Amino acid sequence: MSDSKPGLEKYPHLLSPLKIGGFTVRNRLMQTAHAKGYHSRDGLTNNRDIYYQAARAQGGCGLLVTGGRHVHPTSTGPGRTLVRGNRHENIERDSEMARAVHAFGGRIVAQIMHFGPQGRSGALDDYRVLWAPSAMKSPAYNECSKEITKAEMDEVSAHFAQAAINAKAAGLDGVELHYSHGYLHQQFLSFVYNKRTDEYGGSLENIVRFPIETIEAVRKAVGPEFTVGIRVSMDECTVDGMQADQAIEMTKLMVATGMVDYVSATAGTYAAHADQIPPGDYEENWLVERGAKMRAAIRSVRDIPMFIVGHIVDPARAEELVEAGAADMIAMTRTQIADPEFANKLLQGREDEINNCIRCNQACIARLMVGNAISCVVNPAAGREQRFGPHTLEPAGRSAHWLVVGGGPAGMKAALALRQRGHRVTLLEKSERLGGQVNLAAMLPRRQKFAFVTEDLERQIRKAGVEVRLNTPADAETVKAFGADGVLLATGSVPLKTGFTSTRPAVDVVPGMDQQNVLSVPEVLQDSSAVGKRVVLFDEDGGRYALGTAEYLLDRGHSVHLVSRFNALSPNLALTLDLPVNYQHVFRKGLEYTINSWVRRVEGEKAQLFNLFTDQDSEVLEADTFIIAAGHEADDALFRELDGQVENLHRIGDCLLPRQLQDVIYEGMLAGRELFDHSRYIEQGELEEFDDSWERAMLGTTTAPPAMKG
């Protein structure tokens, strides 16, 4: 690895050190606290989290913040996924995490919090009463909380103090008090949620009283040298909710205590969940103006650093913000989930190797929302660093020549890893460009970041030395004549146009689906000239594949009626947090829709619908064109021809089984490591062990791939 640091000239402010309370960070890049779902068993720090944090420190990130830690038994959270910061047993675990992050030059602060009303009373092994400033139903799980008493507030502050003492004892670099996103302390800071008539409600001075009492308790417990920060919402993003001006005044009061070392500014509450983790539909840099105002206001009280978040993805913009004094640290959290080496790649002038986050929320947030550990679509090693981190990419024992047929995401990912491990790789792609169906996904409204999947992988495989042959279809004879040592078939899938729905499994083909005016989504996106003015779209997908196509056509002047077999419009978008913003767009553009229904038959320009619960015929919809947004079937003809005739033949991605993008990129990674047998499986609980193995595994390694032979 080169010691050259061209990034210091290009990003002199972003890559400069910063003093934060009692410690100094090497640059202004950080990851904010984010739930990862890695602690499901016992609520204690474990290897999965340690390797995750260590990988990002090794990749050059300046400041890491742990996921939020519960401080009190009544802070339940949504499930068994967060660390219990008040538990003494965690000190040993956290000290290992601190040691790992420090070994790679990073700094790490523990975020401590009380979930308040946003938990679930039955999330753990018993039932608990949720606490809030005022008795009110929560938008998170629709549960009621009880108004917290003064004695209980004191108890919460004491638990914050104990969690801070534990963090300090573990050698972590500081604590961050979570005063945002709708949790207990943020609700005190909100006139929407805080309806108290005592000295803790009704005026600006009163609503900051409890948060300040907690700051005082923590500061008293840890002393003046230990770093204590606060995370605040600059905007509740709720109708009639708190906005920047009020947030600034409250923050100034807390900063004026002289007990706070930094402010981390964010936005959103549980009534505006997407604003906390905005999908790619949001404008980039959407919070920076409010952040700059807050930065200036804080500085007027006390010169402490302020951190900013808000879909900042361009390092040049981040550099501008730091240079202009609009913020002191730039939070690029998903950016560094997608690429733990982001900071080092900036520093070392390796920006052409960056895996860009595509803001899909598919493998991070959506997995968390269903109780799974987070990972990443474009970085399948995320959260699985023990098994698949850069330090685990071993050179091939014997350099071989691999042939990869199909240049979609799975084929490219496999080709890259094979090449990085020292194999010679030739990739054949039948069309004129790489990327496969992900290129179509990037055509949907506000999905342009999906193009990064193709662009990033193509750049990386070409740089690594994969021989790419475009416009090169491969048949069985081509593959056999090639004489490769190993063959990966990644020939993709073709869309189903049968009208099949899993809610009526006995009907293989809906009558009329063979009409010329019935098209699949890929056919529409490849060439929409055959689409008539009036469109009926049948949605057996429930996500952006269907709704995005509907909006794509609305944007081009078509009328669209979406018929969904689900009991809500595009329900899967609730998991990726892009439901509210997409509803806004399609409703404003005039989408019509019918839910709980499917198509009985299509005849000419008419579709007979029926209700899936009563099985009764319902509406008849008329259209010029009918579009099916359903599943795909594997394009595996080549595999079936070659099976048994070619040694070391494997199929991956959609041509094995059509699945989501994260599945096929993961499979490409496995194939690139030649993990085709049971060694591909991660045993349940394997990643959640606790020991010091990170040290043996990671120290002394660089994050660069092994030197290539041949």
Binding site for ligand SF4 (CB under 6 A): 334, 337-338, 357-364, 376-378
CA-nearest of 335, 310, 336, 333 to 321 is 310
d(CA 558, CA 529) in angstroms, rounded, equals 12
d(CA 105, CA 61) in angstroms, rounded, equals 9
Considering the candidates 183, 193, 270, 593, report the single residue annotated as catalytic.
183
* Complex with ligand SF4: residue 134 or 361, whichever CB lies closer: 361
* Triad 160, 164, 168: Cα angle to 5°: 175
Q: How far is the CB of 54 from ligand SF4 (least distance, A)?
A: 18
Q: How far is the CB of 337 from ligand SF4 (least distance, A)?
A: 4
Annotate 20-48 with three-state secondary structure.
ECCEEECCCEEECCCCCCCCCCCCCCCHH
Q: How far is the CB of 379 from ligand SF4 (least distance, A)?
A: 6
d(CA 103, CA 83) in angstroms, rounded, equals 22
Length of the chain: 710
Q: Residue 683 CB: number of other CB atoms within 10 A? A: 6
The answer to whether residues 80 and 124 touch, using CB atoms and an 8 Å cutoff, is yes
Under DSSP, is residue 125 helix (H, G, I), strand (E, B) or coil? coil
* Complex with ligand SF4: residue 185 or 359, whichever CB lies closer: 359
Place of tokens 């099949």: 500
* Complex with ligand SF4: residue 278 or 422, whichever CB lies closer: 278
Give the tokens for residue 260.
């706070």
Q: Residue 195 CB: number of other CB atoms within 10 A? A: 15
Q: How far is the CB of 281 from ligand SF4 (least distance, A)?
A: 12
Q: How far is the CB of 127 from ligand SF4 (least distance, A)?
A: 33
Active site residue 681: no
**Strand partners for 179:** 232
Place of tokens 């509406």: 619
Q: How far is the CB of 662 from ligand SF4 (least distance, A)?
A: 7
d(CA 356, CA 10) in angstroms, rounded, equals 19
Q: How far is the CB of 376 from ligand SF4 (least distance, A)?
A: 3
Annotate 538-605 with three-state secondary structure.
EECCCCHHHHHHHHHHHCCCCEEEEEECCCCCCCCHHHHCCHHHHHHHHHHCCCEEECCEEEEEEECC
Which stretches within 141-277 are classed as H helix? 150-170, 184-188, 204-207, 209-222, 244-255
Query: Is 556 exposed, middle or buried (CB count within 10 Å of its CB: 0-12, 13-18, 19+)?
Result: exposed
Close Cβ partners of 459 (under 8 Å, ≥ 6 residues apart): 352, 353
Q: What are phi and psi of 103, to 5 degrees?
A: -60, -25
**Strand partners for 627:** 519, 537
The H or E element containing residue 488 is strand 486-489
* Complex with ligand SF4: residue 360 or 629, whichever CB lies closer: 360
Alpha-carbon dihedral of residues 370, 376, 380, 383, nearest 10 degrees? -70
Give the tokens for residue 571.
């329900």
CA 595 vs. chain centroid, Å, equals 29
Q: How far is the CB of 35 from ligand SF4 (least distance, A)?
A: 13
The answer to whether residues 56 and 31 touch, using CB atoms and an 8 Å cutoff, is yes
Secondary structure (DSSP) of 670-688: HHHTT--SGGGPPPTTGGG
Q: How far is the CB of 412 from ligand SF4 (least distance, A)?
A: 16
Q: Residue 394 CB: number of other CB atoms within 10 A? A: 10
Give the tokens for residue 699.
């120290």
Q: How far is the CB of 359 from ligand SF4 (least distance, A)?
A: 5
Close Cβ partners of 652 (under 8 Å, ≥ 6 residues apart): 410, 411, 414, 488, 489, 490, 664, 667, 668, 670, 671
* Complex with ligand SF4: residue 298 or 440, whichever CB lies closer: 440
* Complex with ligand SF4: residue 190 or 333, whichever CB lies closer: 333
d(CA 358, CA 355) in angstroms, rounded, equals 9
Q: What are phi and psi of 494, to 5 degrees?
A: -125, 145
Give the tokens for residue 692.
């010091």
Q: How far is the CB of 345 from ligand SF4 (least distance, A)?
A: 16
d(CA 706, CA 119) in angstroms, rounded, equals 45
Q: How far is the CB of 367 from ligand SF4 (least distance, A)?
A: 8
- Catalytic residues, by residue number, are 183
